[in-house]
Amino acid sequence: MTRRLLLLVPGCFAMCALYAGLLRADDPVEIEKLLKHEIVGPVLPMAEVQRYCEARVPDVPRVESAERWAAEAQRLRAAVLEKIVYRGAAAAWRDAPTRVEWLDTIDGGPGYRIKKLRYEALPGMWIPALLYQPEELSGKVPAILNVNGHTPLGKQYPPKQIRCINQAKRGMLALNLGWLGMGQLRTEGFSHARMNQLDLCGASGLAPFYLCMKRGLDVLLSLEHTDPERVAVTGLSGGGWQTITLSSLDTRVRLANPVAGYSSFRTRVWHLKDLGDSEQTPNDLATLVDYTHLTAMMAPRPTLLTYNSKDDCCFESGYAMGPLVKAARPMFELFDKPDALRTHVNDDPGTHNFELDNRQALYRMLGDFFFAGDARFDAKEIPSDDEVKSQEQLHVELPEPNHDFHTLALALGQQLPREPALPKDKAAAVKWRTERRAALREIVRAKDYQVAAVEAGREELPGIAARFWRLKMGDAWTVPAVELSRSESKGTVILVADDGRGSLAEEAQRLLVAGNRVIAVDPFYFGESHIAQGDWLYAVLVAGVGDRPLGIQASQVAAAARWAAGQDGDKPVTLVAVGPRSSLFALVAVGLEEKAIGQVKLYGSLGSLKEVLEQNWTVSQKPELFCFGLLEAFDIKQLAALAAPRQVMFQNAGERAKAELAELGRWYPLWTSNTTP
């Protein structure tokens, strides 16, 4: 008996050891450690997106004559207006009449009055404004459009008031515009990161910004005493951006003074505080022009570039101004107008400001070009601090409701996608998928990345093997991936998640136990591929240089699927995505990649892209969801149909998904749609 027990003990120890090892291998805690193993580190993702964007910014072309540059500048203006500003549904807003309503007039100060007005930037979107008008007017006088920057005070901002007062006291007409998201228009719906809701609907989110400026210029030029040959635009920060944008694209502007408002895209790539809001980096702008081009397009019109030496916000003079001057000066010289391009650097206080020193630089510029030879003109500021008005005094009544980015997008979204119907027989469906797949590729700017897999290490646990990969996608991206497998695998599953691969331990464990090889991937912007600083701003910049974050993500996942399938005898992989964002790029990936992805399972997918609008999300929260024109052509239902006859399963997607997707099972006999709460 004793001898039999002794014989059994070693076997028991062996079985217990094996059992313990298997428990450890299948323990989500241990799997999580493997999934979180560092592969690319925090520096590389940001370095790659910086290099990617910088390489795509165009140079100002070299021309040999003023005539050639004038023609090129006009070509660029037309292209930017047609392809960027007024693209898509925004084209309908372009030719709408400028409706203006003049309201009450209030006393200003000695020598001028303030007339309140409102005007429609586009149908149903009203902008408040103030006209500072000299009491005595005769003949034609200079007129200045004073645009607003990123200050919650809006048109009441004291330095802006003082600037307008001084212009009026010098005999000029000064129009003080409100700005979207600031002052009276400082509402949630006008948040600049919500302009991208319009982009999703296929309407330029930049258009309301531009029309706000353009219609203000229309108002100024409509005034009886405005001299059309002496019209200027000036503003600080976001107002500086407005100044160069409007002035470069609208030659009715005869003089521009942008103050601390912009820099080249190449400069912004490396200076995070310059990246700017959505309007400063609209979709595809950098496929046509950089801000160097916009500056050069001012030639030969007088232009004063004002920057601050110690700017605590953005666009410091030391790095921001030089590339602009270098690009623009040769064009002014072609016109034999080198003195028309001027610069001013403020040292006192040197911070982000349009205070006395910068204002007097503007007055000198106006004196030299609008009052040339007038000995009475004095560039010294006229003290006016005691004439600054309160917000209540300057308040302009606006109609209710007043359209904003969100309400405009909701209205557009109701009619989208434009062709919602799906084909109802097999032959028509095949043709439809071929045509729509090509359309999807164009919308998301899909890439066919070739993968060069570099092994970055291995780790063994009893019963499980881990391999860590750097998947080089062309010459642009490095995608980290963790491969987990047991002795034999019946198939391969690629995992992606909104919270990154480190959040997938339980799903990976379940798939491993079921006999699958698991490859957990972090595509662009997610998990270990997260951009360490300025994350969503770089995603917006990617769209600005002509690509789409959604397309990069889907293309990377499709490339990873081709690589994984190739390792497994070209057997198609299963794609599993966890979260609404990952589910979207996974759905796009399966729509693009016909062979390497055999089926897809989506956990928590959106039921409709209209939820992006209904939830009032911003591009800063979920950048890839705002792919330009996606909802115009596809909703979730159409994207899912594009994958047929392969199996697509929606898990935990909620009632919206079940309602939206129920008809797919009826129309596609080979289709499986499994919507479970």
Residue 118 belongs to domain with CATH number: 3.40.50.1820
Distance, in Å, from the CA atom of 557 to the CA atom of 89, rounded to the nearest integer, reads 31
With a CB cutoff of 8 Å and minimum separation 6, the contacts of 356 are 381
How high is the mean pLDDT of the chain?
Answer: 92
pLDDT at 672 exceeding the cut of 50: no
The pLDDT tens digits for 111-120 are: 999 999 999 9
How much of the chain, in percent, has pLDDT values that exceed 70? 94
The whole-number pLDDT of residue 671 equals 41
| pLDDT tens digit sequence for 607-640 | 999 999 999 999 999 999 999 999 999 999 999 9
Q: What local confidence, expressed as pLDDT, does residue 45 receive? A: 97
Q: Is residue 526 scored above 50 in pLDDT?
A: yes
Res. 83: pLDDT tops 90: yes
**How many domains does the structure of the chain reveal?**
2
- On whether both 38 and 66 belong to a single domain, the answer is no
Is position 83 within any domain? yes
Residue-number span of the structural domain to which 571 is assigned:
21-52+416-676
Q: What is the pLDDT of residue 26?
A: 63
Give yes or no for a contact between 119 and 219, defined as CB atoms under 8 angstroms apart.
yes
Nearest to 459 by CA among 484, 422, 434: 484
Residue 466 has pLDDT above 60, yes or no: yes
The answer to whether residues 142 and 35 belong to one domain is: no
Judge whether 554 lies within some domain: yes
The predicted-structure confidence for 278-328, as pLDDT tens digits, reads as follows 999 999 999 999 999 999 999 999 999 999 999 999 999 999 999 999 999
What does the alpha-carbon distance between residue 308 and residue 237 come to, in Å, rounded to a whole number? 11
Closest alpha carbon to 177 in 136, 144, 129:
129
Strand order in the sheet with 573-578: 451-461, 464-473, 477-485, 516-521, 491-497, 573-578, 597-603, 647-651, 673-676
What is the reported pTM?
0.93
Q: Does 2 have pLDDT greater than 60?
A: no
Q: What band does 665 get if pLDDT is binned at 50, 70 and 90?
A: low
Same domain, 435 and 350: no
User: What is the rounded average pLDDT of the residues 239-255?
Assistant: 98
pLDDT digits (tens, 9 = 90+) for 88-99: 999 999 988 889
In a domain, 495, yes or no: yes
The pLDDT value recorded for residue 663 is 67
Q: 579 and 604: one domain?
A: yes
Q: How many CB atoms lie within 10 A of CB 633?
A: 18
What per-residue confidence (pLDDT) applies to 535? 94
Average the pLDDT over 224-234 and give the result: 98
| CA dist., res. 14 & res. 654, Å (int) | 47
40-58 pLDDT, tens digit per residue, is 999 999 999 999 999 999 9
Average pLDDT over residues 336-340: 98
Span 539-587, pLDDT tens digits: 999 999 999 999 999 999 999 999 999 988 889 999 999 999 999 999 9
Same domain, 196 and 339: yes
Domain assignment of residue 230, yes or no = yes
Instruction: Note whether 312 and 432 are same-domain residues.
Output: no
| Low-confidence winner among 89-103, 418-432, 452-466 (lowest mean pLDDT) | 418-432
Q: Does residue 510 surpass a pLDDT of 80?
A: yes
Identify whether the C-beta of residue 122 lies closer than 8 Å to the C-beta of residue 93: yes
399 and 498 together in one domain: no
Boundary-marking domain end, from 391, 412, 433: 412
Instruction: Reduce the DSSP state of residue 149 to 3 states and report it.
Output: coil
Last residue of a domain, one of 379, 394, 412: 412
Q: What does the pLDDT read at residue 426?
A: 81
420 and 407 within one domain:
no
Residue 366 lies in a domain: yes
599: pLDDT strictly greater than 50: yes
Same domain, 213 and 127: yes
Query: Domain for residue 14, yes or no?
Result: no
Q: Mean pLDDT over residues 644-669, rounded? A: 74
Query: What pLDDT is attached to residue 661?
Result: 77
Q: Could you give the C-alpha distances from 326 to 58, 274, 297, in angstroms and in order?
A: 15, 19, 13
* pLDDT the model gives residue 488: 81
Report the chain's C-alpha Rg in angstroms.
30
Give yes or no: residues 402 and 430 share one domain.
Answer: no
| Same domain? 360 vs 429 | no
The CA distance from 327 to 320, in Å, is 12
394 and 427 together in one domain:
no
Nearest residue to 126 via CA among 397, 386, 496, 459: 397
Q: Is 10 inside a domain boundary?
A: no
Would residue 1 count as lying in a domain?
Answer: no
Q: How confident is the model at residue 235 (pLDDT cuts 50, 70, 90)?
A: very high
453-469 per-residue burial string, b: 16 or more CB within 10 A, e: under 16 = beebeeeebeebbbbbb
Helix (H) or strand (E) holding 607: none
| Final residue of a structural domain among 364, 385, 412 | 412
- The SS3 of residue 352 is coil
